[in-house]
Amino acid sequence: MKVGFATNDNILINDHFGWAKNFAIYEINMDGFKFLENRYFEEEVEELNKIDRKIEKLRDVKIIFIESIGGTAAARVVKSGIYPVVKKGIGAKPAPLRIDEVIEELRDVLSKNPPPWLKKIILKEKESKQVA
């Protein structure tokens, strides 16, 4: 499945969904992972256009990992079929998490007993590959 990470350095999950100018896109499965591309976003003034354009450019991605996301944007992202996951460290001033560590964590969850939201994504992914 394709997974995106809001990042400004391709190492850390360190950007807010609405302000992110780059998403690193990976193909991830139980066998491994592969970096596919960076998707860049222009600066947008109008909030709704910014959200719509990001969703459109991320439409083929199943999960996005972000440092934070606003409620309105989160609802619109979920409605589009993309699952947003807020990932950041713990503490008063949490440090951003490393993309490679979150990928390994996701692969570990995939290989064991994924939560219901992730099982649903996996099932849809399998169905779409059978149709294609």
- 3-state SS, residue 128: helix
The number of distinct structural domains making up the chain is 1
Domain of 19 in residue numbering reads as 2-131
Rg (CA), the chain: 14
Residue range 98-121, pLDDT digits in tens: 999 999 999 999 888 888 988 888
Cα-based distances in Å from 126 to 20, 63, 80, 107, 130: 30, 15, 19, 17, 6
76 vs 17, 34, 52, CA distance in Å?
12, 27, 8
Q: How does pLDDT run across 42-81, given as a tens digit for each residue?
A: 876 666 678 888 999 999 999 999 999 999 999 999 999 9
Q: What is the mean pLDDT of residues 2-10?
A: 97
Report the CATH number that the domain containing residue 28 is assigned in CATH. 3.30.420.130
Give counts: helices (H), strands (E), the chain.
Answer: 4, 7
pTM for the complete prediction?
0.90
Angle of helix 99-111 versus helix 116-131 axis, rounded to 10: 80
